[in-house]
Amino acid sequence: MVILYYMKRYEQFPHTADIGVRAFGKDIREIFENAAFAMFDIAADLEGLKCDIEERFELAADNSEELLVAWLDELLYRFYTKHIILSRFEITELTDKVLKAKAFGREIGSNRNRLKTEIKAATYSDLAIKKSEGGYLVEIIFDV
């Protein structure tokens, strides 16, 4: 018998001016993937988006939290400069200081109607990766 665990990937928590995201994962790797998914899910309508572009990432930072912000900001940078909506994320290597990943998406081109919210950046405000029941969670505030 196969047991399918369903874990919510993220939820929004109320923040007066910006957007607060609580991302979940069974491990840190999944936190990174789900936080990235949350960001693009807020920025654009990802439903049924066909991915035909692959982007690769290699990033370094001083600790996990700073690495997470670096990852999210790098994704935003590619989104705004290469005009690609990314919707699938795969962390291939992760330590406290180094990340290697792939992300898959599609050019904005004729998908402009999918765009929803302009996210300016991921912030460090009150950022902390925490252990939770059944895994990890992180709360991030995005400036919009």
Partner 1 sequence: MTIWNGPLEKIDEFRWCIPRTDGVIYANEHMVADIRNDKAAEQVANVAMLPGIVGNSLAMPDIHWGYGFPIGGVAATDVDAGGVVSPGGVGFDINCGVRLMRTRLTEDEVKPKLRELVYCLYNDIPAGVGSKGDIKISEKEERKLLVEGAKWVVEHGYGRREDIEYTEENGAIKGADPGSVSSRAYERGKSQSGTLGSGNHFIEVQVVDDIYDQATAEVFGVSKGQVVLMIHSGSRGLGYQVCDEYSKDMIGCLAKYNIEVPDRQLACAPVNSPEGKAYIGAMKCAANYAWANRQCLMHLARGAFEKVFSKGEYDLGLDLIYDVAHNIAKIEKYSIGGKERTLCVHRKGATRAFPPGHPELPAKYQKTGQPVIIPGDMGRNSYLLAGTKKAEETFYSTCHGAGRMMSRSEAVKRARGRSISGELEKKGIIVKSTGRETLAEEMPDAYKDVNEVVGVVMGAGISNKVCRMRPLGAIKG
**In the set 2, 8, 14, 50, which binds partner 1 (CB under 8 A)?**
14
Any idea which residue has 């290697």 for tokens? 100
- Tell me: does residue 117 bind partner 1 (CB under 8 A): yes
Q: Secondary structure of 119-135 in the HEC alphabet?
A: CCEECCCCCEEEEECCE
Residues in the chain, how many? 144
Given the rule CB under 8 A, which of 2-10, 93-101, 107-115, 130-138 is the region that contacts partner 1? Answer: 107-115
Cα atoms in the 13 Å half-sphere on the side-chain side of 67: 24
Comparing CB distances to partner 1, the nearer of 45 and 90 is: 45
State which residue, 9 or 123, has the beta carbon closest to partner 1.
123
Binding mask 83-102 for partner 1 (x = CB under 8 A): x-------------------
In angstroms, rounded to a whole number, what is the distance separating the alpha carbons of residues 26 and 70?
21
Q: Binding residue for partner 1 (CB under 8 A) from 29, 69, 100, 104?
A: 69
Which H/E stretch holds residue 91?
Answer: strand 84-94
